[in-house]
Structures are given as structure tokens and as C-alpha cells.
Amino acid sequence: MKNKFLITGLATATLLSTAALTQLSPSVYAATTTQPSAEEKAKQDEILANFDKALAETIKELEEEAKNDPDSAESIKETIAKLKAEAAKERAKIEDGFKTGKTADATENEIEEIAKEEEAAEAEEAKAEEEAQKEFLANFDKALEDAIAELKKADTQNDPELAKQVEDAI
């Protein structure tokens, strides 16, 4: 389940960041391409370093999960390969944004917005999962009650062995 949420979260972040990074906004992009200041360049480098660090941590977690769950190891390895490919595309988009004059602050704001949206989506998924579990348990309890009621109705007066089995089941 954790793997599913992690993969879904990463996919959502990738899609949302792709959409956000491809939208050109005049307030974010400079009309002409200029070299960023040393301070801006440092911020941009920090964003890229954080991106790389987050990717490395995610891959490490997935690799650890693959070691712990040999049955799904192949699937996890495929996910890692897809994740690396998507991350390379995302990193290139971020770098292109910087080259066209996008500020580190604007990029950081977009990343924070995407993270909030992803968190909300994960919360919604968790809520849906919880509701599904509650529904399953309610249906299970109802089926159990019905089965017990049927066992109580069973004619066990002439069969002491059956009466004992019914009593044990209840």
C-alpha cells in the first residue's frame, strides 16, 4: 500500500509539475534572457540539488522495498526506471525554465503548490480507502450475523453432534 501511495504521489507530482512548468507567465519569465545574479544562481543550484536529493531518497526507499519484497521486486525496478526517466525530463524542464529567466522563488512556489495538491490528493485517497474498509467490514459483519441467524434456525434437536458444531461456530 505504501508503494502504491508513493508511486501515485510521484506520478501526480510529475504531472502537476509538468503542467505548471510549461505554462509561461509574464511575471515569472523575463522578456529577455539574462544571466542570473550570483544569489539567484545559488538558489537555482539549491533547488536542483534538493530535486536530486529527493529523487535519490525515493529511489533508495524503493530499492529497499524491492529487497524486502522479492515478489514485487521486478515491478519496483520498472517503477524506478520510469521514475528516473520522468525525473530527468522534469529536471530538464526546471533547468530550461531557469535558462529562460524563471526565478528560483517562482519555481519554489510552484513546487510548494504541487506538494499541497499532492498532499490533498493523498488525503482524499486515504479517506476513500478508509471508507472502502468500513464498507467491507460492515458487509462482513452483516454476513456474519446472517450466518449466525441461519445456524440458530438449524434443526439440531435430533443431532447432538450438529448441535455441538453449531454452538462452537456461534
pLDDT tens track for 76-100: 999 999 999 999 999 999 999 999 9
**What are the boundaries of each domain within the chain?**
2-132, 134-169
Per-residue model confidence as pLDDT tens digits over 44-70: 999 999 999 999 999 999 999 999 988
pLDDT of residue 31: 47
Amino acid at 147: A
In degrees rounded to 5, what are phi and psi of residue 104?
Answer: -65, -40
Of 103, 83, 81, 84, the closest CA to residue 94 belongs to: 103
Report the alpha-carbon distance of residue 19 to residue 13 in Å, rounded: 10
pLDDT of residue 115: 87
Q: How many other CB atoms sit within 10 Å of the CB of residue 52? A: 12
pLDDT of residue 157: 63
Measured CA distances, 50 to 14, 56, 82, 165 (Å) = 15, 10, 20, 64
pLDDT band at 26 (very low <50, low <70, confident <90, very high): very low
Q: Which residue has the higher pLDDT, 21 or 122?
A: 122
- pTM here is 0.56
Q: Are 109 and 36 in contact (CB under 8 A)?
A: no
